Amino acid sequence: MNIFKQLELVGFKSFPDKINVTFDGGITAIVGPNGCGKSNVADAIRWVLGEQSAKLLRGKSMFDVIFSGTEKRKPLSYCEVSLVFDNTKRWFNIEFDEVIFTRKLYRSGDSEYCINRNSCRRKDIIDLLYDSGIGKDGYSIIGQGKIDEILMSRPEDRRSIFEEAASISKYKAKKEESESRLDRTRDNVSRLMIKYNEVGNQLAPLKKQSEDAKLFLELRDRLKDLEINSYLYQYENANRIKSEIEAKTKGL
Ligand code: ATP
Ligand code: MG
């Protein structure tokens, strides 16, 4: 079962009338003479998946994707492409067995994206695609001349093309995200270690100060006791001396 089920074009490039391309099991091939619109079909897939580069769509401006007329037919003011996916295996993280992405563009400049015919943002489509591993750059669309480019490219670049096609890129992106989070945590840990050591260095003098303070309190209490005792002694002693003197003066 293909994950791509159907492509619907209206007013896109050389297709003024609505056409449906169905992708049954196995390989679907589109054949025809030069200039019949084969590459336009691939462009339509790129476009509905959110392509923003007119150049990659082989045009000068984005409006070049709207049917611009022929000798026999007037230009159209609008184009629309829908791509229907099978989602019974939940490739896309939404609870529908079928996912339809749609993109529309009007010559007035208005444009719209939809998921299952409901208006959405481009980002919603990109996020769904990205999470599914299909990828926003459409690497898996290998256009005319691309094979040579892939064969001639540096091994690292070639690797990234295959990684994208093998849906590894989403895991790579997640790995990079986790690694950067890990780096941030490592930074935090080393900052905490610096603080910990600083505090550790202050610990010895603080311990000494706290022992001194405890000793001070003990000595202060002891001093208070001794002072009270000394007053009591002096008081009693004074009383005794007073009575002795009184006794002596009486005897005189
Ligand atoms: P080849 O076999 O040479 O690669 P192809 O089948 O891939 O050809 P495409 O490049 O898909 O052909 O189609 C080119 C045709 O599409 C041209 O005739 C061009 O005039 C037509 N075309 C492109 N954009 C538009 C447009 N906006 N309006 C009308 N026709 C368009
Ligand atoms: Mg072509």
DSSP per residue over the chain, as a string? --SEEEEEEESBTTB-S-EEEE--SS------STTSSHHHHHHHHHHHTT---TTTTT-SSGGGGB----SSSPPPSEEEEEEEEE-TT-SSSSS-SEEEEEEEEETTS-EEEEETTEEE-HHHHHHHHHHHT--TT-TT---TTHHHHHHHS-HHHHHHHHHHHTT-HHHHHHHHHHHHHHHHHHHHHHHHHHHHHHHHHHHHHHHHHHHHHHHHHHHHHHHHHHHHHHHHHHHHHHHHHHHHHHHHHHH-
Q: Which residues contact 134 (CB under 8 A, 6 or more apart)?
A: 49, 91, 140, 167
**What mean pLDDT do residues 17-22 have?**
95
Terminal-to-terminal C-alpha distance of the chain: 137
Closest approach atom of ligand 1 to CA 33: 2
CA distance 171 to 176: 9
Q: From atom 7 of ligand 1, which residue's Cα is the shortest distance away?
A: 39
Closest approach atom of ligand 1 to CA 70: 29
**What mean pLDDT do residues 48-73 have?**
93
CA distance 79 to 13: 8
Amino acid 195 reads: K
Look at residue 135 in the predicted model and tell me its pLDDT: 55
Top mutation candidate among 17, 30, 39, 41 for ligand 1, by most atoms within 8 Å of CB:
39
Strand order in the sheet with 4-10: 19-22, 4-10, 78-86, 98-106, 111-115, 118-120
Residues 122-181 pLDDT 10s = 999 988 887 776 654 444 566 667 677 778 888 888 887 777 666 676 777 788 899 999
Look at residue 139 in the predicted model and tell me its pLDDT: 43
Q: Is the pLDDT of residue 77 over 80?
A: yes
- Residue 32 Cα to ligand 2 midpoint, Å, equals 10
- 34 ligand 1 Cβ < 6 A: yes
Ligand nearest to the Cα of 38, by number: 1
Mean pLDDT score of the chain:
89
- 245 ligand 1 Cβ < 6 A: no
What pTM did the predictor assign?
A: 0.65
**What mean pLDDT do residues 170-197 have?**
91
Residues 216-230 pLDDT 10s = 999 999 999 999 999
